[in-house]
Amino acid sequence: MLQSPATPHAALPRARTLSHAVFPQRTMLRHAVLVLAAAVFIAAVAQVSVSLHIGPVPITGLTFGVLLSGALLGPRLGLSSALTYLAMGVVGLPVYAEGSHGWAVLTGSTGGYLIGTPFVALLVGWLAERGWDRRPATLAAALLLGNVVIYAFGLPWLWAWGGRHEALLGIDDMTLGLTLKWGLVPFIPGDLAKLLLAAGLVPSGWQLLRAVRLGPARVLSGTAEAPRRAQLGLVAVGAGLAMAAGAMLAWAGESDLGDGAAAVVAGMGAAGAVGALLRERGSLGAGLAMLVGFMAAGTGGLVAFVQLVRFTAAGTLELADAGVGLAVAVVAAVVLFATTAWETPAE
């Protein structure tokens, strides 16, 4: 008896998460390697730390690592990776922000954020297993919920810790407003940027895997998609060029943009433009084109945004003296991300 041929999308939806699709073997060795690799990744991005002069909680890449690990590994392995990361710091490995470690960190001002990471990975992984990781919009919603969870742990902990250390902090009363000022408000812009970057990487990974298995010509094939893809491709090309031009404009002018930051933003803009152009011409598969687009928009936009804003001594967010070039680069990065995400198909 002849069997009907499988549909183009039949090979991938069986996998619950992207890591399961890439490494389908269900062995203890596979689980251990993925958990350890994710824990090391979380530790690495946690070292990207910026100390704020307005409070005891630094800006780090910790949440990005935990959110991405949960989305890639699912609830069980994501939870295990976050617990492994915490355990590594407890036993003395310098994996917490700025190379710190030990129980003193877990019981300090940032302890609530750290303790909340396993629950974040569990929630995001649970949603990813249910298909929320296949499109940027749904994954962004899952990651946003993960951010809510981490603040649900971090803010009450910070408030309680501050109430016991008012003399150390030089304050008379640890109020709710002060807690939000130190533990929430400064992190919103960076959290949104990290959320967008993570929300683009995982769906593009699915598309890249589909392109490898099915062949780029069969991904997003169909006459109905061609006109829209061409239009979005031209917009993405223009956005990438605008991001690169904005960085060069800020670099040439008198702004706070350093040479390294300018090179990153300009390079990411050029990469996004080239990737979109190759995709529009049919020379690049959907998965790889989306990966390039999301990486370009996320990395370049994040670097440009960090240079564009600054926090005052009073804890307020304001535009830095960076000129119009960086503003153009940030807006162009958002447009590049939006056009790339719009092309991502449903499962």
Q: Residue 119 above 90 pLDDT?
A: yes
Tell me the helix, strand and coil percentages in the chain, rounded to 5: 70, 5, 25
Residue 12 placed within a domain: no
Question: Which of 166, 198, 230 is the C-terminal boundary of a domain?
Answer: 198
Integer CA distances (angstroms), 74 to 77, 88, 263, in order: 6, 21, 35
Angle between helices 323-343 and 286-308 (to 10 degrees): 150
Do 252 and 329 sit in the same domain of this protein?
yes
Question: For residues 341 and 145, what is the distance between their CA atoms, to the nearest angstrom?
Answer: 20
Is 45 in the same domain as 171? yes
Cα distances from 241 to residues 88, 124, 223, 251, in angstroms, run: 43, 34, 28, 15
Is residue 250, in this structure, part of any structural domain at all? yes
Query: In sequence order, which residues have a C-beta less than 8 Å from that of residue 48 and are 6 or more positions away?
Result: 60, 61
Does pLDDT of 270 surpass 60? Answer: yes
Residues 6+ apart with CB under 8 A from 237: 273, 276, 277, 280
Residue 178 lies in a domain: yes
Asked whether residue 261 falls in the same domain as residue 159, the answer is no
Same domain, 49 and 192: yes
Per-residue pLDDT at 202 exceeds 50: yes
Q: Interhelix angle for 225-252 vs 259-280, to 10°? A: 160
Last residue of a domain, one of 198, 230, 265: 198
Q: Which residue has the tokens 């933003």?
A: 265
Q: Are 243 and 193 in contact (CB under 8 A)?
A: no
Band of pLDDT at residue 232, cut at 50, 70 and 90: confident
Q: Is a pLDDT exceeding 70 seen at residue 253? A: no
**Is the pLDDT at 77 greater than 50, yes or no?**
yes
Task: State pTM to two decimals.
Answer: 0.74
Q: Does 288 fall in a domain?
A: yes
240 with 169, same domain: the answer is no
Co-location of 117 and 257 in the same domain: no
Same domain? For 190 and 237 the reply is: no
CATH code, domain with 108? 1.10.1760.20
pLDDT tens column, 240-251: 999 999 888 877
Contact in structure between 68 and 123 (CB atoms under 8 Å): no
Residue 320 lies in a domain: yes
Q: Which of 130, 128, 124, 131 is nearest to 147 (CA)?
A: 124
Residues 251, 192 share a domain:
no
**Rounded to 5°, angle at Cα 136 from 130 and 141:** 65
Same domain, 194 and 237: no
Residues 237 and 271 in one domain: yes
Phi and psi at residue 77, in whole multiples of 5°?
Answer: -70, -35
pLDDT of residue 170: 75
Given a cut of 50, whether residue 3 has pLDDT beyond it is no
Among 99-113, 185-199, 306-320, name the most confident range.
99-113
What is the domain range of residue 314? Answer: 221-343
Q: What is the DSSP string of 253-300?
A: SSSS--HHHHHHHHHHHHHHHHHHHHHHTT-S-HHHHHHHHHHHHHHH
Q: Do residue 37 and residue 182 come from a single domain? A: yes
Domain membership flag for residue 143: yes
Say how many domains are in the chain.
2
3-state secondary structure of 334: helix
Asked whether residue 227 is assigned to any structural domain, the reply reads yes
Give the residue among 13, 213, 10 at the shortest CA–CA distance from 128: 13
Strand partners, 317: 311
66 and 189 both lie in a single domain? yes
Does residue 208 belong to any structural domain of this protein?
A: no
> Token digits for 167?
């003399």
Using alpha carbons only, give the angle 155, 159, 162 rounded to the nearest 5 degrees. 135
The candidate with the shortest Cα–Cα distance to 289, out of 219, 193, 192, is 219
120 or 320, higher pLDDT: 120
